[in-house]
Every structure is written in structure tokens, then in C-alpha cells.
Structure 1
């Protein structure tokens, strides 16, 4: 790609959550639900002298994408690292549950999750975990009716319980800059030691957890550029797809065999992980 084409791109990563939603939806169709003017803030952060945000870091909006009815839930990475608390998690879960009701009534609405999150908010641990569990349940229910689409682009990545939500999505789009994992690098280093995982080794982190690697082993479905127009175009195609069984959540025995074959005493690298997935999972899961 020549420099002129690069300059014409609009970075998706650099946009706020609300701007990402506006960029994806058809012009003049965005209707925000439980927006900042509702002043629905976290009841827990203020008690710990932490500044709250009026939308609790989650933007929910209805609209259309190339004419298809969608509901978009976007997590704001600039607020508390995109962490999920009681209010923000309930907003996402509620939107998905309403989408399921619409689908059951014959009015399908395709959900799109913009996932930039470190997982549960530590200040609201149990409340946040309960909300994330509700999100998981709603995604699984919705997948029988419509495709559930996820996007993770960086810079925060997608970790913790929300990485499970990403894995449950019918189709997950990631950029090379994205990272996906149940535990983040600093958590792994804290629990297992720097010899196991050095959180300062950025090349190693992206080789194991980055978007290209996650796509190569089938834990993400499509590698996209950090370009609003490209992501919108790919989502516009994805919302038209017919729901289908998701191999990475249905073929549990294959993943159990993969785990059994891994020697935890050996330090993993990108090539070894790809080889293990090819041997035990296969191309039909990608």
C-alpha cells in the first residue's frame, strides 16, 4: 500500500467508543440507549474516590448497517481501561437480551460488540462478574437467531471474562494490534513469574496473544486492518450471514485433547502453539 492510501485511512483504534459506533452505523440512524445524559454512573467507584463516567464507559446504540438492523455495544478503553462494572455490564447484557426478544418475535437485530477491555473491574468484582456471565448467556441464546459479531482492535486488548464473550461470538474480527487472552501479561507474570511470561517482552506478547496469532489458530476469525472503512465493510457482509454452529465452542473434546497434550514445563512459542492447534483442532475449526 502506498503512502497516499495510508493517509486516506481513518484509524479505528484512535476513535472513542462513541465515534466508533457513529462510524459503523448508516448516516442519521444512530439512536443511543441509556446515554450519558441519563447520568447512570457506577454506584461503587465514587465510594472509593474514583471519578465516574456518565455512561460507565459503555455506549449502546441502535441503528442500521447497510440497511440491516443492528445494536452496537462499544466499550470505552480510555475509561478505567475498558473494565466491566455493574452498570456497563448490565447495559450490554440488557441490550443483548432485548435483541433476543426481538429475534424471537420475528424482528431480528444483529448485535455487534466492540471489545476493548481488561475484563472485570476490580472495584466491582462480583457485580462485574455477574454481568459478564449474563452477557455470555445472552450471546449463546442469540446465536440461534442471528450472528453475534465481535471486534477487537487494541490498544487495551480483550482479556478476562470478556475474552470468553469474544470467543462465543459467531464471528470475531481482530487487527494485528489486538490482543486476546483470558489472563493479561502482567497477571500471568505475577502468578507464574517472569521466567514464564515477561510482560515487558512486547514482541513475545504479540506473537502469542496478538491478532495475527489468534487468527492463525482459529480463536479469531478474520484479521482486519486498523481502518474504519475496512472494518465497516467486513461487518456489513457479516451481518447478512446465516447463523451457524460455532466449532470453537461446540467441539469441546478436541480442545481437551489439545490441553492434555501440552507440557506446562515447556515455554510456549508462536510456532509450537500453531503446530499444536493444527494437530488437535484442525482447519475445520477455523
Structure 2
């Protein structure tokens, strides 16, 4: 957790270390992130326009902590929704771990989401899907297949991320600065339920849906 300023704007940053237990989030780490976001919201109520940046490299809840970890992630969700009333909450998924589980919901609640080509975003990770649905349904070792479905480029092209940049510190920083200065979005993504239901309804589920079909559905909105 760090607090400072970017381009003169007050900011709190929370980063998850993806190399430690797959970036899984437990009771204590979750409480730190939720607490930082809650304090940022309190700053805003006291006239200090603190924004937030979440660096999300995480497999979600730490399974051995069970409900305590889930409760911590729920607190993070509530804190994001509270803070984004006042200032942007920016999520960044940039590494090979990706963002899964309950923290993928946190990513979806962010005002803006920035991803790289290496990023992945999904509710369930590839190994979990393979374990539950079988190898024929989802081969977790097929990297091109995995990235074609949940990779940063696909998530951007299907409207689930706002910025798509190279895995470069300077470019990521520039994009974050732009989003901070942009202010709150006109309509938070998580409030566009009807919009996404319309998109799902427009897909023909009879044949197997491929990534290109999903991208094509959103191209008109990007152009």
C-alpha cells in the first residue's frame, strides 16, 4: 500500500504480489486493501480528492483461508463502489498471473481497467475449468487458446477493459495518468447490466462461439 500523488493528484495504490502464493488474497491482505480504499473515500468526504489504483495480479481468494478470505474480498468490493462515487478507481492487470476469482469481480467494479497483452481476466482460472469440465472442454496448457479467450487483447476488444497497452512501464504510467485526469466515467461498467444482457442475447449459442465472434460484436462500439 502506498500513498502519494501522480500528476499532482492525490492517489492511493494497492499492489498484489503475484509471485507470493499466486497472488492469492487472504484476510489480512484483503483488510489492508479494503482499509486503504475506505480511507480514500473518507479523504473525499473530508475534501481531499484521493483516487485509487489497484495493481491486480491475483488468483483470487486464498483457499486455505476460506470464508475469511471471501469476506475480505467482499469488503474490497464494497469499498470500491463507495470510493468510485467520488473519484476514479483504476485497475491494472499487466502480468502473467492475471486476475481471477473474486478479484476479477473487483476488476469489473473499477471505474477503468487497463490491461496488457500478457494480462488475463476471468472468474475461473484455466486449471479450475479443466478440472471441473475436462480436458476436451478447456486445455489449460494450450496457451494461445487461453489467451484468445481471456487475454488482455480479447478483453479489451470485447468491451471488458478500457485501455490496452504494451507491457511497458512508461506507457502504463501515461495511460494511468490520462485516466486519473479524465475523472469519473459517464456510466460505470458494472451498471450497464442491460447493455451486456443485450450483447449476450445477440450471440447465437447453437454453434460453438469463438473469440472472433465476440470481438466482432463489439467492433462497432470501438470504431
**Structure 1 unmatched ranges of 5 or more:** 1-59
Of 57, 65, 79, 2:6 maps to 65
How far off its partner does 1:189 sit? 1.1
Q: What is residue 214 of structure 1 aligned with on the other side?
A: 155
Q: How does 1:60-209 map to 2 (within 5 A)?
A: 60-209=1-150
Q: 3-state DSSP class of the match of 1:72?
A: strand
The CA RMSD over aligned residues, in Å, is 1.8
CA distance in 1, matches of 2:10, 2:176: 12
Residues 73-92 of structure 1: per-residue CA shift (max 9 Å, x gap): 00001111000100000000
1:196 touches 1:267 (CA, 8 Å); kept in 2? no
Q: What is residue 214 of structure 2 aligned with on the other side?
A: 273
Residues 50-106 of structure 1: per-residue CA shift (max 9 Å, x gap): xxxxxxxxxx01111122111000000111100010000000000000000001111
Q: 3-state DSSP class of the match of 2:25?
A: coil
TM-score (norm: length of structure 1): 0.73
2:158 touches 2:217 (CA, 8 Å); kept in 1? no
2:111 touches 2:189 (CA, 8 Å); kept in 1? no
TM-score (norm: length of structure 2): 0.93
Larger-Rg structure = 1
Q: 3-state DSSP class of the match of 1:220?
A: coil
**Structure 2 unmatched ranges of 5 or more:** none
* 2:221 equivalent to 1:283: yes
Structure 1 runs, 4 residues or longer, greater than 6 Å off? none
Residues 103-132 of structure 1: per-residue CA shift (max 9 Å, x gap): 111101110000000011001121111111
CA distance in 2, matches of 1:260, 1:125: 35
Q: 3-state DSSP class of the match of 1:139?
A: helix
How far off its partner does 1:275 sit? 3.3
CA distance in 2, matches of 1:263, 1:123: 40
Q: What is residue 9 of structure 1 aligned with on the other side?
A: none
Q: What is residue 3 of structure 1 aligned with on the other side?
A: none
Residues 248-276 of structure 1: per-residue CA shift (max 9 Å, x gap): 21121232233445566643321122234
Count matched residues.
223
CA distance in 2, matches of 1:251, 1:208: 22
Q: 3-state DSSP class of the match of 2:49?
A: coil
| Distance change (3 Å), C-alpha of 1:177 and 1:225 | same
Q: Which moved more, 1:134-143 or 1:90-99?
A: 134-143
